[in-house]
Amino acid sequence: MNCFKKLEKIMTYGLDRRGMEGANLTGELKGAAMALKKANTVLIVTGFVIRDRLFGETDGPIGAVSVAGALEMLDKNAIIITDIYSKKILETALKSVDLKTVLEIINKHDETIFHETLLNKYKPDCLISIERPGETADGMMYSMTGECISSLVPSMDPLFKEAKNRGICTIGIGDGGNEIGMGKIKQYVAANVPYGDIIAASFATDYLILAGVSNWGAHALVAAMSVLFNRDLLYNVETGERLLRAIVDVGAVNGITKQNTLTVDGLGLDENIRILNEIKAVVEEAV
């Protein structure tokens, strides 16, 4: 088994929890990593609000920081984009690992102007969405349980649509079917995922990374980049634990339990560290 297949196997652990285990996306991880290898400037979109708490979840920001850190090590430009619900989470996360990555905040009702400004200002080669709600065919956005969050969330779909119109590469990372990029397997989501016919996101990114937890998909992407560059770009487990503790301390919540605990998508610290360790082991073996 080559290293890319190993990474795919590790990152997809637990997909059966959401009925996603039958979606076949072999090769997407390597394709996304190769696209990032060519890129110089990358916009990273993340942040998923939990309506009951009006605060962002623990899944997504950690992955965004993981990818941004790798890009920074390669002297590439990374810009993270989020909303007010995950602003403090991302500020804290970036500070805890001492990254210089620029953070842009999008506000509700300013989407169109903001998106055009971003693309013209940074002229990115690639866009990545990591655990960011995506619009369904009716233009709405939903949680994994079918709860509508459109009235709260600034939509990032127009940014990705305009990027595609401009020929800019797009990558989606998600775990539930309701995130930007999942249009690539929309029919599968609608048929197999709980509430799938309601929540299935419609935009299809050029590459789609499906993981048991979106943070794991981001780590796997960094690991795949490490293989391509023959250089370890993935932070260690101590840094991973420090990041999770830091964002929970400022209010980040678990996307499933909706509680402010040291967990991600219902899984404890030990389980998340185990997966990061396994991904890290593939990198160390390869490089």
The SS3 assignment for 263 reads strand
**Percentage of the chain surpassing pLDDT 90?**
95
Neighbours of 136 (CB within 10 A): 24
Tokens representing 56 are: 């962002």
Q: What is the pLDDT of residue 50?
A: 96
Q: What is the pLDDT of residue 38?
A: 97
**Which one-letter DSSP state was computed for residue 193?**
S
Q: Is the pLDDT of residue 112 over 90?
A: no
Strands of the sheet containing 102-105, edge to edge, are: 102-105, 77-82, 41-46, 126-130, 169-174, 207-210
- 29-60 per-position pLDDT tens digit: 999 999 999 999 999 999 999 999 999 999 99
Distance CA 176, CA 168 (A): 25
Mean pLDDT, residues 206-216: 98
Is 59 in contact with 255 (CB distance < 8 Å)?
yes
Q: Is the pLDDT of residue 80 over 70?
A: yes
- 193-207 per-position pLDDT tens digit: 999 999 999 999 999
Q: What is the pLDDT of residue 59?
A: 98
Least Cα distance to 215 among 158, 165, 275 occurs for: 275
Q: What is the mean pLDDT of the chain?
A: 96
**Percentage of the chain surpassing pLDDT 70?**
100
What 3 state SS string does 25-67 have? CCCHHHHHHHHHHHCCEEEEEECCEECCCCEEECCCHHHHHHH
Q: Is the pLDDT of residue 107 over 80?
A: yes
The domains found in the chain, sorted by start residue, are 3-286 (3.90.1640.20)
Q: Is the pLDDT of residue 1 over 80?
A: no
- 234-262 per-position pLDDT tens digit: 999 999 999 999 999 999 999 999 999 99
Tokens representing 90 are: 């991302």
Q: Is the pLDDT of residue 223 over 90?
A: yes
pLDDT band at residue 5 under the 50/70/90 scheme: very high
Between 114 and 178, residue with greater pLDDT: 178
Q: What is the pLDDT of residue 96?
A: 96
Mean pLDDT, residues 100-111: 91
Q: What is the pLDDT of residue 113?
A: 79
Distance CA 171, CA 14 (A): 21
Q: Is the pLDDT of residue 110 over 90?
A: no
Is 280 in contact with 236 (CB distance < 8 Å)?
yes
Distance CA 130, CA 173 (A): 5
Is 164 in contact with 170 (CB distance < 8 Å)?
yes
Distance CA 15, CA 250 (A): 29
Q: Is the pLDDT of residue 4 over 70?
A: yes
Tokens representing 20 are: 């996603």
Tokens representing 153 are: 């969330």
- 137-188 per-position pLDDT tens digit: 999 999 999 999 999 999 999 999 999 999 999 999 999 999 999 999 999 9
Which CB contacts under 8 angstroms, 24+ apart, belong to 97-102? 97/65, 97/69, 97/235, 97/239, 97/242, 97/243, 99/65, 99/68, 99/69, 99/72, 100/72, 101/65, 101/68, 101/69, 101/72, 102/78
* Sequence-separated (6 or more) residues with CB below 8 Å from residue 153: 49, 83, 108, 133, 141
User: β-pairing, 169-174 with 126-130?
Assistant: parallel
Between 133 and 110, residue with greater pLDDT: 133
